[in-house]
Amino acid sequence: MTAKALELPLHMRRNGLNPVEELARARDSEGVVRVETPFGLPAYLVCRHEDVRQVLADPARFSSALTPFPGSEQMNADELAKMQAGQLIGFDPPEHTRLRRMLTPEFTVRRMRRLEPRITEIVQTALDDLERAGKPADLVEHFALPVPSLVICELLGVPQ
């Protein structure tokens, strides 16, 4: 039995330092391409600066709030609201703008500099745990999940 090769999402595929032909074609012709993600959610691949400006200025056509996620079709309005609570990415202006303004003071350069020693400690601990796990080690389990989670806990003042 042979393992199926994992296919990278279109935006990550490269031919050396250049995009693959399919991505270059999307950039040169359409600019905005609807693609499937590895998470089962559709997304837009936006290839050119002017297209980025258009997408960001048009939440009616390019809405995060309208993007269904796997299993959402079986949920009622209350269940959906609970699932989306605290998910800034699932909102469009003006609600997204209001929430982002509330959070902006927490992400200043000054605040990040104050957190830098703790973030360094979190990363070092995760790397030590990864090394202790031995080979082969699961990078997601020992680094990619705990580091961002612990940094966000630290940022928000939430206990681990």
Q: Which amino acid is at 3?
A: A
Write the CA distances from 64 to 40, 90, 125, integer angstroms. Answer: 15, 5, 35
> Within 10 Å of residue 150's Cβ, how many Cβ atoms?
19
Tens-digit pLDDT profile for residues 39-63: 777 788 888 899 999 988 888 888 8
Instruction: Render pLDDT for 111-131 as a digit per residue (tens, 0 to 9).
Output: 889 999 999 999 999 999 999
Tens-digit pLDDT profile for residues 122-158: 999 999 999 999 999 888 889 999 999 999 899 888 8
End-to-end Cα separation, the chain, in angstroms: 42
Nearest to 10 by CA among 39, 33, 40, 41: 33
Instruction: State pTM to two decimals.
Output: 0.51
Length of the chain: 160
Q: What is the pLDDT at residue 67?
A: 61
Within 10 Å of residue 122's Cβ, how many Cβ atoms? 20
